[in-house]
Structure 1
């Protein structure tokens, strides 16, 4: 027994709409002879003529008209089911990047994420990573990329995008003597106990976060570690410690018990990077880097990222 193919049904329904073999062939993207073959095959399967065709006109037979009326709802239901299944499959196959970050993610970054999904059909799964472990998750494959402070000197990693440099500010308790000034001299860091990130970060990265000495050579104490920025700010507010942070974080982490001061003579800017494993530089990561570049190219100075 020869089965009825969906293509034969589709052809007959289109012919019933057009009543013209040429226009039917054009709609279906095939030849007129193929239309004739499909209709003839369906007629053989049903054992009855469905279409009357003369040199002047094309018309459905009485049986053909009845069959079209009966089969069209079932065909439309079938095509709707197939379209729905295809859309679910497309959504299930949506690519997703796993991206880690420190502190907060700000407007330009989230806009790049939105555009990545809209323009490239790539989603983002965000994870906050420990402050002192900037590279472990991406090296281990748990994350596809991280947005973290530079420098980065790991041979297996690539900086795919460098964010605009930002000033580093000193966070002190609002009642601290330094808080009364507009700026803090860099040599005053020797009188403070600076918080440092705890974790498995390489030594060069730790040294960039907390200098070991002032430019004049006075040692800088750092007796306490923190795993998150919010933990650090809470300790700063308690008054026994200070913390160096990037300006974007200070702009958003405002609180009445903490004051942020520029450090005159510090000479080091803070810069974030989008970092990924060199052997996993998929097109979606490069697309994200390009979108970040576009977003920050139009951002007002100082540009904002995450801190």
Structure 2
């Protein structure tokens, strides 16, 4: 069976729409003589005249019209297959980063993720990690980086970007005796049962979340662990527990049964970081760190302009 070239089929389909050799050549990006050659070649392969042409007009022959009707669906299907194959091939060449996080992500973070995808063709796979296990998924290789609270003293890990420090506040039930004051002194933490993240986090990290004692040496009781922030807020609202939280969370987790109190005398701020394994540093990770830095600088500048 004679081989039929796809280019010849495409040329005939365009000519069937235009019925003009000049416009067909323009659409195909070739010369009129090339259009004539392609049509003539197809007619030789098929064995019948497909186009009736004179010096003044161009029309499909009866066989040509039927051929176009029969071949167009197959050509369109072939075109779809080629486009889909290109898209699959392109998706496989995209870089990919697996990012873990706990809590919620700032808008600056999601904007940096968007810029990484659009400007650098790096796809993001996001997964929430347990509140009390900030490093396990990283060390096990299940994620490439994690947005977690600092400090990070693990020898295998490095902090690629440090987010701006944020004030820590105390969450208590709306009906709690401390709720009406609006602020508490750090020594009053000793009067509460403060929730702590439950998981396999190292002791130094856990102590940074909930200190063992107040600056004055009074022990801080912490009998209950939580795995998510939402779980902690529910326990705060329903009982006598308190929970230390960062200020951005209070702006995103507003609810009528919980009050957020400033803490006088508490020097340590809350700070997040983008953390990854030292042996798996890549241009994708360092690019993301640079985008985060740019987004937060832009955010600070915008805040200053509003203040002025």
TM-score (norm 2): 0.75
Is 1:258 aligned to residue 263 of structure 2?
A: no
Which position in structure 2 is the counterpart of 1:69? 65
Change beyond 3 A, Cα 1:49–1:67: closer
Is 1:165 aligned to residue 165 of structure 2?
A: yes
Whether contact under 8 Å (1:193, 1:242) holds in the other structure is yes
Which position in structure 2 is the counterpart of 1:136? 136
Is 1:294 aligned to residue 258 of structure 2?
A: no
Matches of 1:238 and 1:19, distance apart in 2: 79
The 5 A counterparts of 1:1-307 are 1-16=1-16, 17=18, 19-20=20-21, 24-30=24-30, 34-50=34-50, 57=55, 60=58, 64-85=60-81, 90=87, 93=91, 98-105=98-105, 107-110=107-110, 125-277=125-277, 279=280, 281=282, 283=284, 286=287, 290=291, 293-294=294-295, 297-298=298-299
Whether contact under 8 Å (1:132, 1:227) holds in the other structure is yes
Change beyond 3 A, Cα 1:263–1:83: farther
Of structures 1 and 2, the one scoring higher in RCO (CA 8 A, sep 6+) is: 1
Structure 1 residue 137: Cα displacement: 1.8
RMSD: 3.9
Whether contact under 8 Å (2:115, 2:291) holds in the other structure is no
TM-score (norm 1): 0.75
Change beyond 3 A, Cα 1:3–1:83: closer
Provide Cα deviations, 1:242-273, integer angstroms capped at 9, x if missing partner.
21101122223333433211111212222223
Change beyond 3 A, Cα 1:9–1:85: closer
Structure 1 residue 135: Cα displacement: 2.0
Structure 1: tracts of 5 or more residues without a match: 303-307
Structure 2: tracts of 5 or more residues without a match: none
Whether contact under 8 Å (2:131, 2:198) holds in the other structure is yes
Matches of 1:156 and 1:65, distance apart in 2: 75
Instruction: Please state whether the residue corresponding to 2:241 is helix, strand or coil.
Output: coil
Matches of 2:64 and 2:277, distance apart in 1: 58
